[in-house]
Amino acid sequence: MSNKYILLLLMLFSVDAHADDGYRLWLKYDRIQDAARRKEYLRFAGFVDLETPSSSIQMAAKTELLRGFEGMLGAKPAIAGRKTGGIRLLRDQHLPDEGFRIELKGGNLLVSGGSDRGILYGAFTLLRLIQTGQAISKLPISESPKVQLRMLNHWDNPLGTIERGYAGASLWKWYELPEVIDPRYTDYARANASIGINAVAVNNVNASARFLTAEYLQKVKALADVFRPYGIQVFLSINFASPKILSGLTTSDPLDPQVRQWWREKTEEVYRYIPDFGGFLVKANSEGEPGPQEYGRTHADGANMLAEALKPHGGRVIWRAFVYSPDPRGDRFREAYNEFKPLDGLFASNVIVQVKNGPIDFQPREPFHPILGAMPHTPLALEFQITQEYLGFSTNLVYQASLYKECLESDTYAKGKGATVARIVDGSVHAYSITAMAGVANTGSDRNWTGHLMSQANWYAFGRLAWDHTLGEADIADEWIRMTWTKRPEAVAIIKDILLKSRQIYVDFTTPLGLHHIMGQGIHFGPEPWLEKSARPDWTSVYYHRADSVGLGFDRTATGNNSLALYRPEVKQSWEKPETCDLNYLLWFHHVGWNKRLSTGNTLWDELCTRYYRGVEEVARMQAQWARIQPWVDAEMFADVAGRLAAQHREALNWRDACVLYFQTYSRMPIPAPYKAPERTLEDMKKIVAWYQLK
């Protein structure tokens, strides 16, 4: 064999050895290049000792530490037997249940937990310190979660599809379960445990009753068995009409004795399969899903019936507040408040009401939901979307930690200044006995889990903020970049800058100044501000933007439908005048004249155009920034993101041209200098967008 062919083979081997496809997420235990830091931690690579060898969760912690130390330090810790130079995993009754402490003591690293879960979280935190190059001098570290249930909601269906899923098919191979256990289930559980997620609802809230049959309970049990060593409880989304669907009862009335008995027996069956089952997640009387209102009953009646069945087993009901009536004269903004506020204090003690972060539906930017802070006697869980239903699917780079933090830090003034959404949800303000935060998952069967590699950051950020909502979005981004992409300082700085600006960029080229719900119908993709006919008025775009010859925006003040009055006076005051309203929420609450001068010095029309054009320019800038990091990151991963950024630029141009041309038909004003009018016509854009909606 000639030297030329030998060289070619070596080159090919080198590429394969270093290629990365994103499968390992942020759990990349590659060799640490910092020799001093590696030496620092090698002092404790002698052994990993378990206090309770029979504990499956402690064994998972040990296995992870062995994997991490071998990968990052090149060491294989031995079986316990030495007295110093290793890691000891211990229970400490003085620590909070899921809390942990990492410290140096007696020549060892001690990872102590208030429970086995605490030990597991401490082990992953220790590995994160090593991955991100933190000095051992940072120890001791003590942490405990601020929220009890830190949960992923999967919208996965029995046939393997995912509603609003943009990363392939379902992770759960229902037709192979329970006999075939995909190793990917374990890697999924590891990733969740590493960021403190402790609960998973495995199926769609638009639930099939089939999940409560013996056929599917066996399959869910198999998943629960995989998740259990990683401290993860399984929940099921249920169809409220299951008694009628599965048993032939003539009713699903929650006050009917036969229905109540059916749920008690069905719940007992579930617990026979899964003894540590978490409970039921319920979408009822929303978007056509069945519920108690069909029988003249309230949400509390329905939730309490299920709570009664679950209570002997320690289970919980998570009842979603995403509801809106079919009244064409209503405003979805206020529907959940109107239905749930009167029920405050009427729910059973093991019921949590789950509220979306905003009052409409996971829009790129929303004011915080007015019900947050308005139910002091009912635990409220906060629901975020991790999947990018309204944020460009898997072709757009949008770092949602910025969105999460914006909501969490919003002040509800429920008990005066400082009653932030975060403090409502963690129970600090109203002393909730149960606390929870849920994220609609963005995982799928794609090899890289989330379709867009950068969307992995949203899964990671959700878990970190559910654990500790005081963490900063920049700090979370820094961790994730160092664990996932590179530790090269120049590259870290560039990627972080892209992430931190990405959400505002997306808002600018899609829904600036408080515009909302003007995306394509059905799949919720691409611009369709001209949409004026649908099955109901509040599924159209014109219902929300209300453009006319005078101006633009939805008047929710006292001169309009007064939905703004749902907030506390201090919040209302900050938004009630267009002159002082935060421009990010201006068109949420006001119908503003096209010639109205804003705080930027521009008229509404000029500012609207400026933001649409600036959004496109900023996507181009992200592309240029991304090109600069090519020498420092994996080639395969770099190319994947570069291609998606190019697609995002195309989509940003479509949004810009469609929206400025459409709204120009009402403003009848020219595109302001220095911007050039779109080369395409409005009719061109309508044809392009029409292709998005074809099935």
Alpha helices by DSSP H, listed for 195-331, are 214-227, 242-247, 257-273, 299-310
Give the mean model confidence (pLDDT) for residues 70-82.
83
| DSSP state letter for 409 | T
| DSSP state letter for 314 | T
pLDDT at 78: 77
**Rounded Cα gap, residues 445 and 166, in angstroms:** 10
Place of tokens 């939805």: 554
pLDDT band of residue 676 (cuts 50, 70, 90) is very high
DSSP of 14-45, one letter per residue? Answer: HHHHH---STTTT---PPP--HHHHHHHHTT-
Residues of the chain with CATH 3.20.20.80: 149-471
Minimal CA–CA distance to 163: which of 521, 413, 444, 465?
444
**Rounded Cα gap, residues 556 and 575, in angstroms:** 10
| DSSP state letter for 668 | -
pLDDT in tens, 481-521: 999 999 999 999 999 999 999 999 999 999 999 999 999 99
pLDDT at 76: 87
pLDDT in tens, 362-383: 999 999 999 999 999 999 999 9
Is 70 exceeded by the pLDDT of residue 289?
Answer: yes
pLDDT at 522: 87
Per DSSP, the three-state class of 351 is: strand
- Specify the CATH number for 149-471; select among 3.20.20.80, 1.10.1740.110, 3.20.20.70, 3.40.50.740: 3.20.20.80
pLDDT at 328: 66
Task: Look over the chain and give the mean of its residue pLDDT values, rounded to a whole number.
Answer: 95
Compute the residue count for the chain. 695
Tokens of 689: 């967008």
Query: Could you tell me what percent of the chain has a pLDDT over 90?
Result: 92
Is 70 exceeded by the pLDDT of residue 7?
Answer: no
- Return the CATH fold of 507-554+591-693: Alpha-d-glucuronidase, C-terminal Domain (3.90.1330)
Residues with catalytic function: 287, 361, 389
Tell the burial category of 151 from Cβ atoms under 10 Å away from its Cβ (0-12, 13-18, 19+).
Answer: buried
pLDDT band of residue 255 (cuts 50, 70, 90) is very high
The 10 Å Cβ neighbour count of residue 377 is: 11
Q: What phi, psi does 583 have (nearest 5°)?
A: -60, -25
C-alpha to C-alpha distances, 3 to 6, 8, 9, 17, nearest whole angstrom: 5, 9, 10, 21
pLDDT in tens, 87-111: 999 999 999 999 999 999 999 999 9
CB 645, CB 452: distance < 8 Å: no
Give the mean model confidence (pLDDT) for residues 633-647.
97
Is 70 exceeded by the pLDDT of residue 80?
Answer: no
Give the mean model confidence (pLDDT) for residues 560-583.
97
Place of tokens 């960021």: 195
pTM score of the predicted model: 0.96
pLDDT at 53: 86
Q: Show the 3-state SS of 139-162.
A: CCEEECCCCCEEEEECCECCCCCE
pLDDT band of residue 678 (cuts 50, 70, 90) is very high
pLDDT at 154: 98
Residues of the chain with CATH 3.30.379.10: 21-143
Cα pseudo-dihedral 344, 370, 435, 186, rounded to 10: 130
Give the mean model confidence (pLDDT) for residues 543-571.
97
Give the mean model confidence (pLDDT) for residues 596-611.
98
**Rounded Cα gap, residues 12 and 25, in angstroms:** 24
pLDDT at 16: 36
Cα pseudo-dihedral 587, 591, 595, 598, rounded to 10: -40
CB 77, CB 56: distance < 8 Å: no
pLDDT at 77: 84
pLDDT at 326: 66
Tell the burial category of 75 from Cβ atoms under 10 Å away from its Cβ (0-12, 13-18, 19+).
Answer: middle
pLDDT in tens, 291-333: 999 999 999 999 999 999 999 999 999 999 999 876 767 799 9
pLDDT at 82: 78
- Return the CATH fold of 21-143: Chitobiase; domain 2 (3.30.379)
Is 80 exceeded by the pLDDT of residue 647?
Answer: yes
